[in-house]
Structure 1
Amino acid sequence: MEKRRNMYFYARKDEKTKEQVLTLSDLAERYGFTVVKDFKQANIIVSVGGDGAFLQAVRKTGFRQDCLYAGIATSVSRSLYCDFHIDDVSAMIEAMTNEQIEVRKYPTVQVTVDGETNFLCLNEFSIRTGIVKTFVMDVFIDNLHFETFRGDGMIISTPTGSSAYSKSVGGAVVDPMLPCLQVSELASLNNNRYRSLGSSFILSGERKLKLVVTQDGNDYPVMGLDNEALGISHVKEVDLMLSDNIVKTVKLKDNSFWEKVKRTFL
């Protein structure tokens, strides 16, 4: 940690948050860190807000492979990606200076749209109908036609993302030590013509998933990259696989993934 001394704060621009960041910056500098204004100069990137701010911080700074990411919660309690709370930020500085932290590595999903545009997701990729009408997708696993899906859409999540959108539609919460993807359906329609599994399923990190959209007038699906919408029309196919890119985050030694899940849901 001694070699990581350049810190960048990612936060909203409202007055309250600006004041919080100023306080954080002063504290960091008192402990020997250098606060930089350009994230490209940082080797520690700290989000201030909640899980949404953390996801945006990772995306807006380009999923940096040479950085540590840390989250500071400003709501009532800490969250999945935020090991620290704004009311106890000295604990973060103390943990980092006294080596009371570990580095957690989160997998990401690589999304390729129509063989041209590539994106990364930390939580999940979702594709949903853009009009009041179901749409049809052929689902391929490693080039094997697995099913023809008709419904409102699908969610493809990482293990850490399994406790978010995917969980809300009945998906399993997956241990992040398992390199895998989880595929969950949104309101599937099953009849004699269309048949899908009807439940979430988990793919090994070695598998490749392809979704081929049937062009039947529903040509503007809504696609989500974590908490950000992707505006691409006339989508024909989406390829997904576990990426080699990982997100390295600051983790307190006494705050594992399952402790977070217990604190959040139980």
Structure 2
Amino acid sequence: MKFAIVSKGDPQSNEYVQKIRSYLEDFRFRYDEDQPEIVISVGGDGTFLYAFHKYKGRLEHTAFVGVHTGHLGFYADWVPEEIEKLVIAIAKSSFRIVEYPLLDVLVRYNQPAKRDSQYLALNESTVKSVEGTFVIDVEIKGELFERFRGDGLCVSTPSGSTAYNKALGGAIIHPSLEAIQIAEMASINNRVFRTIGSPLILPSHHTCVLKPVTQPDFLVTVDHLSFLEKDVKWIQFRVSEKKIRFARYKPFPFWSRVRASFIGD
């Protein structure tokens, strides 16, 4: 089996990387950064997001494993003290595949000759104005839902519902549900302007389209990546047909992850 390792980059994580690589190569596994069957992330959730985007073109052929070395490792099943157990599990036992939904982001521009931009998010995508109040028409399933005014909007996956979405007051959604969630950032609500004022959860057969009202330039984030999108005609969000595959060698139910990450003992 071919494997690759993505490190947080600090000395401690790099030390664990060398240990994991050495152990797996002793079991005749082959290190291959181009076409790995298993990608091991060593670090925190930020490292895992980097690993996902590095190998997002191989999602059908690659499964991910996380080793948590930071303060919060929501995507990680393993801790450094369990590295030898992890290596033995990879070498000696078959893994169970667990799939999580992803978010498709499509940006279309006013210039017909300019090619659409397409992004894939594991956690979330946010949209904000470059300057001034963010004003945008929100369409759901092809119909106008509201004209939003505020700081911006966050569209998240179920697994990403525990990240920035949660900080915005959004619901935590189990990743077995193929859905996306729209959460507001500091909406303007008064006698003149109104928004729904509540997170919205859309099923996989619904799309959300944002259409500019006052200006066509936006700051768009996709997980840890940021883009300045100019002359935007609309931005579309939907549940992706692609999924991320986790290699599970031991049970770690989603709600146990939530409890361990946010409540603890």
- Normalization by structure 1: what TM-score? 0.90
Match of 1:264 among 245, 261, 264: 261
Runs of 5+ consecutive residues of structure 2 not aligned to the other structure? 110-115
* CA deviation after TM superposition for structure 1 residue 164, in Å: 0.5
Deviates more, 1:56-65 or 1:241-250: 56-65
Runs of 5+ consecutive residues of structure 1 not aligned to the other structure? none
1:20-75 CA-partner distances (Å, limit 9, x unpaired): 32111101112332112x3x221111111111111111102224221111111112
* 1:71-90 pair list within 5 angstroms: 71-76=66-71, 79-90=73-84
Contact 2:8/2:44 (<8 A) preserved? no
Partner of 2:65: 70
Task: State how far apart, in whole Å, the 2-side matches of 1:202 and 1:99 are.
Answer: 38
1:231-264 CA-partner distances (Å, limit 9, x unpaired): 3223331011111111101224321111100101
1:113-153 CA-partner distances (Å, limit 9, x unpaired): 1161111001111112333x321110001111011100000
Match of 1:53 among 20, 38, 47: 47
Partner of 1:124: 124
Partner of 1:244: 241
* CA deviation after TM superposition for structure 1 residue 111, in Å: 0.4
Task: State how far apart, in whole Å, the 1-side matches of 2:229 and 2:240 are.
Answer: 22
Structure 1 residue identity aligned to 2:126? S
The secondary structure found in structure 2 opposite 1:183 is: strand
Partner of 1:31: 27
Contact 2:44/2:71 (<8 A) preserved? no
Contact 1:180/1:202 (<8 A) preserved? yes
Match of 1:10 among 6, 12, 25: 6
Contact 1:214/1:236 (<8 A) preserved? no
Contact 1:110/1:240 (<8 A) preserved? yes
Task: State how far apart, in whole Å, the 2-side matches of 1:24 and 1:206 are.
Answer: 41
Task: State how far apart, in whole Å, the 2-side matches of 1:15 and 1:152 are.
Answer: 38
* CA deviation after TM superposition for structure 1 residue 100, in Å: 6.7
* CA deviation after TM superposition for structure 1 residue 95, in Å: 2.5
Partner of 2:133: 134
Match of 2:232 among 221, 231, 235: 235
Match of 2:99 among 105, 129, 145: 105
* CA deviation after TM superposition for structure 1 residue 82, in Å: 0.9
Task: State how far apart, in whole Å, the 1-side matches of 2:257 and 2:29 are.
Answer: 28
Contact 2:43/2:69 (<8 A) preserved? yes
The secondary structure found in structure 1 opposite 2:18 is: helix
Contact 2:37/2:63 (<8 A) preserved? yes
* CA deviation after TM superposition for structure 1 residue 94, in Å: 2.4
The secondary structure found in structure 2 opposite 1:155 is: strand
- Normalization by structure 2: what TM-score? 0.90
Partner of 1:149: 148
Structure 2 residue identity aligned to 1:104? V
